[in-house]
Structure 1
Amino acid sequence: MESSKLRVLSLTLFKHLLELVRGPSRRKMKEHVLRSLVPLLLLLHDERPNVSQVCWDTLRSALEFLRWRQLSAHVQKKELWRGCDCLVACYKERAETLICQAMAFVENPQAPIREAAIRFLGLTARQLDQQSQEKLEAICNVLKGFQQDSKSSVRCLALQTMLILKACKKHRPARASLRTLLHRMRLMHTRENPVIEVAQLRE
């Protein structure tokens, strides 16, 4: 009960702070607000109505602060997983950070929050690049551990997510970056036509 009251108070304080921030302070606050989105999206599944409701209210304030209309529209319609898709798609370069945030919730005592964290891990892990295979393997190992979870719904979701991620890893094509491809084209071109300057091949 005390932890519930504390969470509600801290989220309410954060919400009021967002509504008070003005001018240049908004730019400084933006990073903190972005980092709050994953916890808020996952805590929406809290079984305690008072916590869930304050999360909804704080999330709406956070999105209004960010002026993020697309994600805000999904939240207003309570299309949570479309909203999560939107977040992950817009911040692919932050995939590892988003995963670390979700990992903090996978052992939550509440099954709905554990399920939400697993779903979010599945969405985000698919955005990892070729250099993050170890991270993907680590996520699969975490999901494998859920086969001993007390809730059958959690066990089933973890297994499905793990199989999907392993399939993505197996069939993911190796892709060279645009910069690498251009570099190879330049080398081939200059070898065949040494009098043509590399500078003619502009990015």
Structure 2
Amino acid sequence: MLTVSRERLFLKSPSPSPYQESSRLQELSISLFRDLVEAVVGNDRKSMKKEVQRGVLPLFFHTQDKTDSVSKASREALCAAADLLKWKKLKDLVQPQQTWRTVERSLVRDRRRAEEYMEQSLPYLNNAQAILREAAVRFIGITARHLGNRNEKLQDICDALQPLVNDAEPSVRSLASQTLMTLGTRRKQPTSWWSLRTLCCWLCRDRER
């Protein structure tokens, strides 16, 4: 087994690139990330956990990638990350029957984690694949309910979502508009959780159809 440095693993984390990579390069990058995670041994396991956790959300998004080989590589890497992190619920995300309620239970477990994953999801709003843009919008809508009464954060989220109201893909346009409408209500009524509960239920129910 190899000893893998913190720097190497961090650099190979499958975060979204500002440039659109080819599917083959994306697959190789994710597969290398999996190999590096599986190679971590001994004391390195503890020191690498934070870096591996940073790869969880990008891997989840790419399990829905339209390229089958990228989707498969992402599921395998997510399982490897779950093993290293001893995070059993992560493996639920690779199941075909997983729902967005499962995503919420598995990923958004506290406000700190919600904020971290929210920041990671924003670049996917500009992804070339409509299915990944839609996944990002849906994830952001669900995660927003865990941010509390932070209107400035909600405003930043709304600003990021606004361009997708004119997205070329109808499903993305519709979801972005619905999410913005509900988050707008949330900003005007900071003492009420009703609108975000409604959003979460709507997003999950729509996905499960």
- TM-score, normalization by structure 2: 0.75
The equivalent of 2:148 in structure 1 is: 129
Question: Structure 1 pair 105/168, CA: closer, same or farther in 2 (3 Å)?
Answer: same
- For the aligned residues, what is the CA RMSD? 2.0
Q: Please report how far the alpha carbon of residue 87 of structure 1 lies from its aligned counterpart in structure 2 after TM superposition.
A: 3.8
| Unaligned runs of at least 5 residues, structure 1 | 175-203
Contact 1:71 1:86 in 2 (8 A): no
Match in the other structure for 1:61? 80
Look up the match of 1:148.
Answer: 166
Match of residue 44, structure 1, among 49, 54, 63: 63
69-78 vs 135-144, greater mean Cα deviation: 69-78
1:34 equivalent among 38, 44, 53: 53
Q: Which residue does 1:180 correspond to in 2? A: none
Runs of 4+ residues over 6 Å off in structure 1: none
**In 1, Cα distance between equivalents of 2:106 and 2:21:** 32
Please state whether the residue corresponding to 1:46 is helix, strand or coil.
coil
- Whole-angstrom distance in 1 between the partners of 2:146 and 2:97: 24
Q: Percent identity?
A: 38
Q: Which moved more, 1:82-91 or 1:155-164?
A: 82-91
2:123 corresponding residue in structure 1: 104
Determine helix, strand or coil for the equivalent of 1:70.
helix
Q: Aligned partners of 1:144, 1:10: CA distance in 2, in Å?
A: 31
How far does residue 77 in structure 1 lie from its aligned partner after superposition? 5.4
Q: CA deviation at 1:115?
A: 0.1
Cα displacement (A) at 1:2: 6.7
Q: Distance in 2 between matches of 1:17 and 1:90?
A: 26
Q: Which runs of 5+ in 2 are unaligned?
A: 1-19, 193-209
Of 152, 155, 175, the residue aligned with 1:157 is 175
Once the 2 structures are TM-superposed, how far is the Cα of residue 117 of structure 1 from its aligned partner?
0.5
Is the CA contact 1:42–1:116 (under 8 Å) kept in the aligned structure 2?
yes
2:134–2:172 contact (8 Å) kept in structure 1: yes
Q: Is the 8 A contact 1:43 1:113 kept in 2?
A: yes
Q: Is the 8 A contact 1:45 1:52 kept in 2?
A: yes
Shift of 1:129: 2.8
Pair 1:85-2:104 in alignment? yes
Distance of 2:128 and 2:21 partners within structure 1? 16
Change (3 A) 1:88 1:74: closer
Higher-Rg member (1/2): 1
